[in-house]
Amino acid sequence: MLEAVFWANAGIAIVSALACITRRSPVASALWLIMTLFATAVMFVLLDAHFIAVLQVMVYSGAIMVLFLFVIMLLNLGDQSATDMKGWFGRVVGLALGVFVMVELWVITKVVPVDQIRLPAGELNRMTVDEGAIAPVAQVLYTTYLLPFLLTAILLLAAIAGAVVLAKREV
C-alpha cells in the first residue's frame, strides 16, 4: 500500500518535472514545479519526515513559489510567444549530459553504506509516534547543530538586506 502511494507520487513528481522544463510559459512551468513539490512532500511523509513535509508545503510551495509567480507577474512574462529552448544541437548536448548525470547518480545510489546504518528499521516511525513529529528533529537541531542554526538567522537577515539593496532603484 505504502509502496503503491510512493510510486504513484514518484510518477507524478517526474512527469511534472518534465512538464516544468518543457512548457513554454513561465507561469505553466511554475505551476508544474509546485505539483512536483507537492508530490515530493507526500514522499517525505512516506519516509517518516512529517515535519519536513509540512515545511516543504509552507516554505517551498507556499513562499518561494509565490515569489516566483510574483516576479513573473511583475516582469510581465506570462504570455511568451517565442520559445526560449535552445536549438536542436543544444538540446541533444543537454540530453546527453542529463542522461550522463543520471547514470552517474544511479551508480552512486547502488553503493549505500550499509555498515553505517545506525537506526533499526521502523525506528524513526516509532520515534515519531512516541515523541511527535517535531521533537526528534528539534532535539538534534537545538543541540548538535545550534551554531549553524543561529548562523542561518544571520544569513536570512543578510538576504533580506541584500534583496532590498539590489532591487531598489536608488540606494
Partner 1 sequence: MLLGPALGVSAILFSIGVLGVLIRRNAIIIFMCVELMLNAVNLSFVALAQQLGTDGQVFVFFVMTVAAAEAAVGFAIIIAIYRHKETLDLQNLNLLRG
List binders of partner 1 among 121-140 (CB under 8 A): 121, 124, 127, 136-137, 139-140
Binding flag, residue 108, partner 1 (CB under 8 A): yes
Shortest CB 152 distance to partner 1, Å = 4
Binding flag, residue 84, partner 1 (CB under 8 A): yes
Q: Which of residues 16-45 bind partner 1 (CB under 8 A)?
A: 17-18, 20-21, 26, 29-30, 33, 36-37, 40, 43-44
Interior angle at CA 5, CA 47 and CA 1, nearest 5: 95
47/1 Cα distance (integer angstroms): 14
Q: 516566483: which residue's cell?
A: 68
Binding flag, residue 109, partner 1 (CB under 8 A): yes
Nearer to partner 1 among residue 79 and residue 121 (C-beta)? 121
Binding flag, residue 150, partner 1 (CB under 8 A): no
Distances (CA, A) of 153 to 51, 77, 146, 164: 19, 33, 11, 17
Q: Hey, what's the cell of 32?
A: 508544474
* DSSP reduced 3-state for 80: coil
Binding flag, residue 147, partner 1 (CB under 8 A): no
Nearer to partner 1 among residue 86 and residue 129 (C-beta)? 86
Q: Hey, what's the cell of 74?
A: 511583475
Binding flag, residue 99, partner 1 (CB under 8 A): yes
Nearer to partner 1 among residue 129 and residue 148 (C-beta)? 148
38/34 Cα distance (integer angstroms): 6
Shortest CB 10 distance to partner 1, Å = 4
Binding flag, residue 73, partner 1 (CB under 8 A): no
CB contact at 8 A, 79 and 25: yes
